């Protein structure tokens, strides 16, 4: 488990860099939306398929299918074109952290988005309610609606979209915490 978590921590950010480098600018929003839909589908369908495979082939068969799909994924990654770094490489250590802070000081849009996201996450994220919310929403509708409409974000100004999303989350959170069944988050 530890090795898997370490590899996922390295592989996740690396794999998310491919889409912006492989698609033209006018297809980037659609490509990112499709990538997110694939990720959501994997989280939703994967466990069910895993259960079917374990039921049909046993645990050893499940590991075999996992190993084979890994080989297919590795073959796909090896077929990607080389991606060269753009711009100057980041400086290591505290200098890199300082560079990031200077960038935030000079870029109010990014700074505002990060502060807004932090405030939304820390002040109103009802993580403990997610299973209950999923049960009420039929488990998947919210994520699928968000994924299906995410391509439209390219049509809206980033700042207004960010503020609108925060307003929706802020308005929805108290409503989700007041449940008629008496469950309070």
Q: How far apart are alpha carbons 81 and 23 in whole angstroms?
A: 12
Looking at the whole model, is its pTM more than 0.75?
no
| pLDDT tens, position by position, 57-72 | 999 998 899 899 889 9
Structure tokens at 87: 């711009």
CB-based contacts of 142: which residues, under 8 Å, 6+ apart?
Answer: 133, 134
- Residue 158 confidence (pLDDT): 57
Q: What is the mean pLDDT of each run of 10 residues along the chain (185 residues)?
A: 67 74 86 82 82 91 90 87 77 86 86 77 59 56 62 60 71 62 46
């Amino acid at each position: 488990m530890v090795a898997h978590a370490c590899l996922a921590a390295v592989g996740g950010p690396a794999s998310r860099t491919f889409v912006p480098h492989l698609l033209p600018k006018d297809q980037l929003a659609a490509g990112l939306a499709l990538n997110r839909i694939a990720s959501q589908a994997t989280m939703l369908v994967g466990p069910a398929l895993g259960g079917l495979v374990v039921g049909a082939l046993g645990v050893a068969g499940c590991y075999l299918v996992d190993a084979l799909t890994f080989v297919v994924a590795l073959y796909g990654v090896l077929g990607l074109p080389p991606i060269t770094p753009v711009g100057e490489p980041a400086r290591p250590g505290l200098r890199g952290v300082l560079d990031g802070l200077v960038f935030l000081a000079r870029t109010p849009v990014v700074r505002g988005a990060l502060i807004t996201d932090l405030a939304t996450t820390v002040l109103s994220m009802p993580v403990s309610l997610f299973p209950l919310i999923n049960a009420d929403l039929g488990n998947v509708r919210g994520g699928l609606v968000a994924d299906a409409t995410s391509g439209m974000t390219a049509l809206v100004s980033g700042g207004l979209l960010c503020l609108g999303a925060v307003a929706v989350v802020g308005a929805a959170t108290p409503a989700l915490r007041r449940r008629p069944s008496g469950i309070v988050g």
